[in-house]
């Protein structure tokens, strides 16, 4: 990607972690984002979606090279 929009997170290189039952920490490009879900179930849905999107981003990056 030659240029990025403001607020774009490169999921291919992102690190996804959980702090506790409702908090997610997303680190990418020297920035850290703290996200908070309403419930543990919602947090797990977000983590799953982010991990699937990351896997897709990695596949797309590998296909381009």
**For 3-55, how does the pLDDT look when each residue is reduced to its tens digit (9 = 90+)?**
666 678 899 999 999 999 999 999 998 999 999 999 999 999 999 999 999 99
b/e for 36-59, b at 16 or more Cβ within 10 A?
ebeeeeebeebbeebeeebeebee
pLDDT number for residue 3: 65
Task: Quote the pLDDT of residue 35.
Answer: 95
Instruction: Provide the whole-model pTM.
Output: 0.83
Q: Which residues pair with 26 in a beta bridge?
A: 16, 33
Distance CA 63, CA 35 (A): 30
Q: Is the pLDDT reported for residue 2 higher than 70?
A: no
Q: Tell me what pLDDT residue 7 has.
A: 74
């Amino acid at each position: 990607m030659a240029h990025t929009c403001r607020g774009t997170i490169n999921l291919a290189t992102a690190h996804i972690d959980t702090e506790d039952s409702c908090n997610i920490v997303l680190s990418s490009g020297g920035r850290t984002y703290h996200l908070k879900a309403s419930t543990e179930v919602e947090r797990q849905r977000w983590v799953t979606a982010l991990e699937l999107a990351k896997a897709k981003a990695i596949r797309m990056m590998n296909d381009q090279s």
